Every structure is written in structure tokens, then in C-alpha cells.
Amino acid sequence: MTSPAPEPHKDPSASAAASAEPREGGRNGVSRGIGIALTIVILVLNVLMVVALVTPALFLAMASTGCLDSCNIDVVSAGFNIAVFGPSVAFIVNLVLSIVFLVKKRTAWLLSLLVGVGGFLVFLLGVALVFLPAI
């Protein structure tokens, strides 16, 4: 019986260092999966936020009924349109950018979170414009 020949000059620490390196783009599979799941959860929360913001925004049209001569109806109308359509447009941009970031294997959950907050701020801007002439 012959014993297998030892491999010449193999450093045992080299195999340990190679297995400790993260895969694909500096990320391991577990954190990538958590990032995808977190992005999906944030997108679903953004859908719920858009529905919750657009519903009361439709009632902002009644804010101009008390204004006859003292209000600038163009500012009220612009604020109404921003409050109604702004969160929806922000969500569509959020969805498209999140898909692009996920395909490129980049961090998308932070983008989704920031654009969701931006959609809420756009809604608040529209509400402020509606009630600004009343001040």
C-alpha cells in the first residue's frame, strides 16, 4: 500500500482565509436575503401608507369651499394635487428604483425607507399648501 503524496507547500491558513471571505460583492448570502426581505416589507408598508394618505387627501378639496375672495384658489388646487398624487408618484419611483437596486445587488432597503419618508413629506407639503392661504 502506498500512502498519498503530501501536497507541496500548502499553507493551512490559506484555506481558512479563503472560506472566510464574503461572496459576491462583499456580501454573504444571509445578509443579502435579509436585505431583500426588508425591502419587500418596506415596500408593502409604503403601499399601506399611500392608501392611508390618499384617502384623507381627497377630502382636502372641501378646504376651498369656505374661500370666496380671500384665498388663492390656484395655491389650494396645487396643494390638493400634490397631496393626492405626490405619495403615489413617490411610491412608483420607489418601486422602480428598488427593483433596479435589487437587480444590481445593491442595498435597496435604505432607499425604500428614505423614499417612503419622502412620500410622507410630499403629502405634508401638499396639506401645508392647502391651508397656507387660510393663515
DSSP string covering 34-68, please? Answer: HHHHHHHHHHHHHHHHHHHHHHHHHGGGGGGTT-S
CA 76 – CA 88 distance, rounded (Å): 19
pTM: predicted TM-score of the whole model, two decimal places: 0.71
Please report the pLDDT score of residue 132 as a whole number.
Answer: 79
How confident is the prediction along the chain (135 residues), in pLDDT tens digits per residue? 666 666 666 555 555 545 554 445 555 555 878 888 998 999 999 999 999 998 888 888 787 777 767 777 888 888 889 999 999 999 999 999 999 988 988 888 889 999 999 999 999 999 998 887 666
Confirm if 53 and 87 have CB atoms less than 8 A apart: yes
Please report the pLDDT score of residue 98 as a whole number.
Answer: 92
Cα dihedral 53, 55, 56, 59, rounded to 10, equals 140
Confirm if 119 and 86 have CB atoms less than 8 A apart: yes
User: Domain residues of the chain, as ranges?
Assistant: 43-131
